[in-house]
Amino acid sequence: MSSLSRRSFLSATVVAGAIAAMPKALAVDETSVFADAGREFAVPPALLAAISYGQTRWSDHAGRPSRSLGYGPMHLVDGAAAAQQRAAEGKDDSAAIDTLGAAAAASGISADTLRTDAASNIRAAAALLAARQRANGGVVGASTDPSSWYEAVATTSGLSTPAAQVQYADDVLADLRSGMSVSVGRTRYSVGAQPVGSPGKGRDRVVARAKSGRRPTGPVDAPNGLGVEWVPAPYELYGPTEVDYGNHDLAFRPRSPQLTHVVIHDTECSYEVGIKLVTDPTYMAWNYSIRSSDGHIAQHLQTKDIGWHAGNWYMNMHSVGLEHEGFAAQGYNWYSEVMYRRSARLTRHVCRTYGIPMDRAHIIGHDQVPALTTSRIRGMHWDPGPFWDWERYFELMGAPLSKGTVGRAPKTGDVVRILPGFEDNVQVVQGCSGVCVEGTDHGTNFVPLRSAPDASAPLVVDPGLKASPSTTQVSDIGARAAAGTEYAVAEVRGDWTAVWYLGAIAWFHNPVDARTARVVKGGRTVTPKGATAPVYGSAYPEASAYANPAEAQPISPLIYTMKAGQTYVLSDDSVPTDYYKAKTFSLETPGDHVNTVGRTKYYQVNLGHRVAFVQAADVEIS
C-alpha cells in the first residue's frame, strides 16, 4: 500500500464495496489491514487498531513524520534522527526510543518502506509487539486478551518516560473497552467495544519503573495519575524597588478573584525553551506547559496565583493558562494525540474543580482573548491557530460540542454553533515568513466568513485589525468562525447562512448535505436597547467602587459596536465585575493585592472571533 490520506487509508481497511454513511468495522473485518497483521504475527487485531488510534487516530499523514519523527499509522519513531534533531537543538537529553529501527529488525521490512507504506508500517509494529511480548514471557495469539500485552504496548509506544508509557497503555485498554471511532465527512469508521481483562503484573512492572523515576513534586493541581511535574515559576525581586519583580502575581483564587476561563496557548518555541522562559523572573509565567512528544505536563504556578499569559489583565485575573509546545502555523505537526489527551484531562480537572463551564465560551484560545483597548487589538496573539482540533479536544473532555444542538436547517433568529469537523474541513490557509504553510491539505478548525453568499466574495472586515477585507494568511483571524463558537443567524439563502459578526453581516457556507453549523437548543441572545451598544475587553468596576478613585481603571469601549437590530449570542450572564490590584512585590503592602468589586452588570458575548463584554444596561436579552 502506498502513502495514503486518512480517508483512503481507512477505506482500505474495511470490506470492499461502496462507503456508506454508517459505522465501518476496522479491526474485526476479515479484510482489514489490522486483521491481516494480527493473523501474520499472532497479535489481537483490535489491539493493533487501538494502538494506532492512540498514536495517530488511524492516520498515516501521507508519509510525513510528526514533530517527534514518528511515521505512519503506528507512529514508529526514527530514534537516530530524533536524537540528532534534539542534539542540533542543543537539548541535553538526545536519547530517543528507536521503534522504527526495532520494527524494521523484527519484521525484516526496510525502514524506508515503513516510513511511507501504511500496511507495512502496521505489519512491522505487529512484529515488534509480538517480539516484545515473547521477551516479556507473555503468550501471543490473535485471540489473546489485550490486557496481557500491557507491558509490550507500553514499552513499544515510543514514549521515553515510564510515566508516559503507563498513561498511554492505560488509554489503549480504555479505548478498547469503550470502542473507538473517527468521522471523515459523512463516513464513520469504528471499532466496537472489546472485552478486556485486568493487566495485572504487566502494569505493576511499568508502574514500578515510573515511580522509581518520578521527580519530586510540589503543590501540583492535577488529576491523579497524570504525572504532572512541579517546575515553579520564580516570584522574585530583580530590581531596587517593590515594583521590580516577576514573573506573576500572588492572589487568593478562586475566592478572589473568581476563576472563569481556561486559555489554550501554544509556546511558539520548544518545550525546553519554554521552561527556561517560565523560570526566568524577568519574563512571564503561565500555569502549565505540555510537551508535544509525550504529553508530559509541568505546572509552574499555584492555581491561587495569577500568571501573565493572556495579554489582558482582566482575563489573567480570571483564567488558567495552558501552553502547548508548538508553533501555530505548523500546529498540524506539533499537536499530537498524546498531547490532546493529557491536556484535555487537565482542563477537565481544572473546570470541575473550580466550576468553570466546559464550553467554548469559557475554554478559549489565546486568539479569542479580547484586547483591553482598541489600540491593543493588533498586538493580540492568534495561537493556538487554525490547526488546533477543538472538536476532538472537547470530545476527549467528555463534553462533545454537538451536545445541545440539532441538525435541522437554521432560520433567522436561531443560534448556531460552528461545527465543521476537522480532518476534512480543509480551508485555504497561506503562510508567513519563517514557519509557513501554503495551500495546505491539513484539516482546520474554522469556516471563513464572507461579505456575500458567494465563495468568491471578499472576506469580512475586522475593523480592529485593518480597514480592508481579512485575508487567508495563517495569522489573520479576522474572518474566522472557530469550531464551537456560537452566533445569531441574520439571514439564510440556500446553502449560505449569515450571522451577526463585529457589527456587520457575515456569510458562511452551510450546505444541506454537509452542515458546518448546528442549531443550538435554547440559545440566548442580546440586542442593543438604543441605536448602538458599546463593547469592552474587560468587566472592570465603575469608578465609585474603588476605595481610592484615583486608582479606578479606565473602562474603554473597543472600536466595535452592536447596532440596533443586530443580535449576538449571550455566552455568560454572571460575569465578575472586579479589578485585582497587584502592583508591588509584598503581600504586606498597604492597599495592594486587593480585589475591588463593582456593581455594574456585564454580560459576555460572542462578538466576532474573540469574546467581548457588554454592560447589561445597554442591551436586552432575547
Residues 120 and 200 grouped into a single domain: yes
pLDDT band at 489 (very low <50, low <70, confident <90, very high): very high
The answer to whether 482 and 516 are in contact (CB under 8 A) is no
pLDDT at 438: 64
More confident residue, 296 or 433: 296
Assess if residue 254 is contained within a domain.
yes
Question: Taking 90 as the threshold, does the pLDDT of residue 86 lie above it?
Answer: no
Higher pLDDT, 22 or 274: 274
Question: What's phi and psi for 50, nearest 5 deg?
Answer: -70, -40
Residues 182 and 275 in one domain: no
Q: Which of 166, 197, 212 is the last residue of a domain?
A: 212
Looking at the structure, tell me whether residues 428 and 359 fall in a common domain: no
pLDDT(10) > 60 = no
53 and 97 assigned to the same domain:
yes
Do 452 and 313 belong to one domain? Answer: no
Do 202 and 219 have their domain in common?
A: no
Instruction: Say how far apart CA 318 and CA 428 lie, in whole Å.
Output: 34
pTM for this predicted structure: 0.92
- Cell numbers of 412, please? 433567522
How many CA atoms, within 13 angstroms, populate the side-chain half-sphere of residue 280?
A: 9
Q: What average pLDDT score do residues 59-72 get?
A: 86
pLDDT value for 81 = 86
How does pLDDT run across 352-405, given as a tens digit for each residue?
Answer: 999 999 999 999 999 999 999 999 999 999 999 999 999 999 999 999 999 999
Compute the average pLDDT of residues 327-334.
Answer: 92
Query: Do residues 544 and 515 share a domain?
Result: no
Instruction: Band the pLDDT of 62: cuts 50, 70, 90.
Output: confident
Does some domain include residue 360? yes
Output the pLDDT for position 437: 67
Q: Which alpha helices (DSSP H) does 69-190 contain, by range? A: 79-88, 99-107, 111-116, 118-135, 150-155, 162-178
What digits encode the pLDDT tens for the residues 249-286? 999 999 999 999 999 999 999 999 999 999 999 999 99
Letter for the amino acid at 349?
H
Confidence label for 109 from pLDDT (cuts 50, 70 and 90): very high
Higher pLDDT pick, 573 / 30: 573
* CATH number of the domain within which 386 lies: 3.40.80.10
Residue 527 lies in a domain: no
Query: Which CATH number belongs to the domain containing residue 67 in this structure?
Result: 1.10.530
Same domain, 308 and 394: yes
Q: Quick check: 439 pLDDT over 70?
A: no
Identify the three-state secondary structure at position 34.
Answer: helix
In a domain, 246, yes or no: yes
Q: Pick from 182, 212, 242: which residue ends a domain?
A: 212
pLDDT (mean) for 87-103: 75
Task: Assess if residue 574 is contained within a domain.
Answer: yes
What's the confidence (pLDDT) of residue 550?
93
- Answer whether residue 1 is part of any domain: no
Per residue in 279-310, pLDDT (tens digit) is 999 999 999 999 999 999 999 999 999 999 99
- Number of folded domains in the chain? 4
The mean per-residue pLDDT over the stretch 576-583 comes to 98
Question: Is 453 part of a structural domain of the chain?
Answer: yes
486-493 and 496-501 strand pairing: antiparallel
Question: 104 and 172 share a domain?
Answer: yes
| pLDDT, mean over the chain | 91
Check residues 550 and 1 and name the one with the higher pLDDT. Answer: 550
pLDDT band at residue 150 using 50, 70 and 90 as cut-offs? very high
Q: With bands split at pLDDT 50, 70 and 90, how would you rate the model's confidence at 161? A: confident
- Report CA-CA distances (Å) from 285 to 1, 251, 305: 47, 14, 10
State yes or no: pLDDT of 525 exceeds 90.
Answer: yes
C-alpha cell at 364: 478559549
Q: Which of 522, 543, 558 is the last residue of a domain?
A: 522
Q: Identify the weakest region by mean pLDDT among 12-21, 119-128, 156-165.
A: 12-21
Res 217 pLDDT > 80:
no
| Host domain of residue 518 | 403-522
Do 577 and 488 have their domain in common?
no
Q: What is the pLDDT of residue 5?
A: 46
At 582 the pLDDT is 97
What 166-169 contacts at long range (C-beta under 8 Å, 24+ apart), as own/partner pairs, is 166/203, 166/206, 166/207, 166/210, 166/225, 166/227, 167/225, 167/226, 167/227, 167/295, 167/341, 167/342, 168/54, 168/338, 169/199, 169/203, 169/206
In terms of domains, do 12 and 141 share one?
Answer: yes
Report which DSSP code applies to 75: T
Q: What is the pLDDT of residue 23?
A: 36
Closest CA to 441 of 325, 514, 367, 332: 332
Q: Same structural domain for residues 18 and 91?
A: yes
457-477 tens-digit pLDDT = 999 999 999 999 999 999 999
pLDDT, tens digit, 9 for 90 and up, residues 223-241 = 988 989 999 999 999 999 9
Position 337 pLDDT exceeds 70: yes
More reliable by pLDDT, 1 or 594: 594
Q: Average the pLDDT over 533-537 and give the result.
A: 98
- C-alpha neighbours within 13 Å on the C-beta side of residue 361: 20
